[in-house]
Structure 1
Amino acid sequence: MKRNLISNTLAGLTLALAAAGAWAAPAIDVIGKDFTFPNKIEGMPAKLSDFKDLQINSFTTSDGVKLSYWEAGKGKPLVFIPGWSANGAEYVNVMYLLSKHYHVYVLDPRNQGMSEHSERGARVARFGADLKEFGDHLGLKKADYCGWSMGAAVLWSYIDLFGTKGINKVAFIDEPPSIYSHADWSEKERQDAGGMTSSPERMVEAFTTGKPVSSFIVQSQAFQRFTLRDSPYFANSEAFAEAAVKNDMNAIKRVLFDHAMNDWRDVIRTKVNVPTAIFTGVYSDSLQGQRWIHSVIPNSELHVYSAAEQGDHFLAFKNPIKFTTELRSFLER
């Protein structure tokens, strides 16, 4: 009886601290339970509790929104920014591998993951400001950054607003320079920009409701590739994310139209002036767009994953051994 009382008191204290935004605790305590990964993979954690130094922490932005972030490891700071609707739980394998060499952070964007749901700031520009405030919160003078999908757009926004003074090296994973394909573009311009929709409204509807849409409106195989749990690593991280985080579609959809309408080509072409790595694959919706990014950023390097290497939008999570090895090689050069 006494043991149950103590356990309940500790659980209540953890929730109270989380609600106050003043907590820094092991991930297993914040989530409230352990998790057993469905696939046993040699060299990887079998349970969440095997990843002993994984923490979930938080800070409050200048406009009063509480953002959560995942962290593990020691050493040079390496910051990941997830894509639309994604969160730190999906990075569990990537973090486990890289935390042996870096102090790794994954920021849950507002309205995503364990961050606060707010009607304020549902714009990529605000997400870029959030990233700057996150670095300020951590006291980072300089760090390496990696943005996946919309997370790359958040990095482009950050660079547009604040420059690259605080960035050592940067990596982008499979984000089109412009999702919206303008009606007056040539086919080459569309492919170089990675344009994949002629109607952002229909794209938002398709992405948030699952309503079928023709390839004339949205040219994307991302959802099909997502449903292929053809990697035990990916099956593990997605199972964990689904157990740990409950998405609110009304919250996460708020930024999607703004995200679709931004054209980042001028920023990519003129403001990305630090060592850059671009990761994509043969199943990318914007492979030519990734090649264009590589062509306009001096001395950048391009990694194109094959079909056998899980070369789709989720390559970092489907093939985390190859991805983390190549990312680390880039960062250490």
Structure 2
Amino acid sequence: MSTFTTADGCKLDYHLAGSSSNERTLVLLHGWSQSRAMFDRVIPMLARHYRVVSYDQRGHGESGHPAHGARIARLARDLDELLAHLHIEQADLVGHSMGASVLWSYLDLFGSAKVSSLTIIDQPSACAILPWLEKAEAAQVGAIVDFPGAEAFCKSFLGPDAASARRQFLSSMLTSQIPGADLEWLYQENLKLDGGFGTRLLLDHIMQDWRDVLPRIDVPTLVIAGEVSHVNPASQQWSAEQIPGARLHTFTAEEGGAHFPFFERPEPFATALHSFLDTQPARRARAGAAS
């Protein structure tokens, strides 16, 4: 376990696995209210082939819990600073749920010069039914909550029943077969995110519209969906169709194909990710950017 401090004074906890002599560096970004520990089951499988970096995003897990920076754009800046701190010139970036939004923001702000490939795990390009989205269009991209619903959803994490709301939300993202001990462990990690900071970040997250970023992604991309996820797998197919040359991989229910395939069934997840990366030549740091 190591730490570094961002330019605005937030300590980020990160972990390195695999040999530094490995040709490729894989950076894993967790989702909202989760932690880098969610990847601990799959990291040993990935570390056989890659140098693997996982870290707690600000406000989450063992990282600092500041009152400021509850924005996707700030989390993207944190990623940029972490890459610089570790002297990573090229990386394969993997983002789960909100972590995918952080990657889209990173590309939008900093371009793709340091990015060898992108893996998006089960995240719609728009979560909220924004005023410029027609009903059919919203369904197509995976937007499922209107403005009153977004307000009520966020308030549920601040009210007297916040603990119950957080448990119910977490349970909705998992297969029904998950062991009770695993659910409890995930829930305890979830509670490390402060409700106030977490709710501000959640609202910023779900109000984003990343659809204009997708066609401008100029690196090999894998989009991962889950057959029984609360995120409509059709929305992940739509995202893959917008990204030039992107691949789509959908996990079945038996393969842990809800929202956390890398946690519920790490073996098929590691196989799918390795299969994708193995077909992509490692790249050297390059000038220029897709932004």
TM-score by length of 2: 0.84
Return the alpha-carbon distance in structure 2 between the equivalents of residues 244 and 314 of structure 1: 14
Please say if residues 205 and 211 of structure 1, whose CA atoms lie closer than 8 Å, have aligned partners that are also in contact. no
- Tell whether the 8 Å contact from 1:90 to 1:237 is kept in structure 2 after alignment: no
What does residue range 1-333 of structure 1 map to in structure 2 within 5 Å?
Answer: 56-74=1-19, 75=22, 76-183=24-131, 185-199=133-147, 200-206=150-156, 209=162, 223-226=170-173, 228=175, 230-231=177-178, 235-236=181-182, 239=185, 242=188, 246-270=192-216, 272-284=217-229, 285-333=231-279
Structure 1 length normalisation: TM-score?
0.74
Offset of residue 187 of structure 1:
2.9
The alignment partner of 1:151 has SS state of helix
Relative contact order, higher structure (CA 8 A, sep 6+)? 2
Give ranges in structure 1 of 5+ residues lacking alignment: 1-55, 213-220
Contact 1:89–1:241 (CA under 8 A) maintained in structure 2: no
3-state SS in 2 of match to 1:114: coil
Which residue identity does 1:282 align to in structure 2? E
Pair 316,238 (structure 1): closer, same or farther in 2 beyond 3 Å: farther
- 2:284 corresponds to which residue? none
Unaligned runs of 5+ in 2: 280-291
Structure 1 residue 304: Cα displacement? 1.0
Aligned-pair CA distance for 1:299: 1.4
Q: CA deviation at 1:264?
A: 0.3
Greater mean deviation of Cα atoms: 256-265 or 200-209? 200-209
Structure whose CA Rg is larger: 1
**Residues 309-318 or 254-263, more deviating:** 309-318
Rounded Cα–Cα distance in structure 1 between residues aligned with 2:129 and 2:186: 35
Deviation at 1:154, TM superposition (A): 0.1
Residues 61 and 130, structure 1, Cα contact 8 Å, conserved in 2: yes
Confirm or deny: 8 A CA contact 2:227 2:258 kept in the other structure.
yes
Verify the 8 A CA contact 1:282 1:312 in the aligned structure 2: yes
Q: Which amino acid aligns with 1:313?
A: H
Partner AA of 1:71 in structure 2: L
**How many residues in Structure 1 have an aligned counterpart in Structure 2?**
268
Deviation at 1:229, TM superposition (A): 6.3
Whole-Å Cα distance in 1 between the matches of residues 146 and 275 of structure 2?
A: 38
Task: Deviation per CA, 1:30-74: give whole Å up to 9, x if none.
Answer: xxxxxxxxxxxxxxxxxxxxxxxxxx1111111111111122111
Percent identity over paired residues? 37
Cα-Cα RMSD: 2.4
Aligned equivalent of 1:3: none
Q: Which amino acid aligns with 1:329?
A: S
Q: Is the 8 A contact 1:93 1:237 kept in 2?
A: no
Please give the secondary structure, in 2, of the residue aligned with 1:265: coil
Following superposition, the deviation at residue 252 of structure 1 comes to 2.5
Residue deviations 1:281-325, cap 9 Å, x none? 122323222111111112111011122222111122111100011
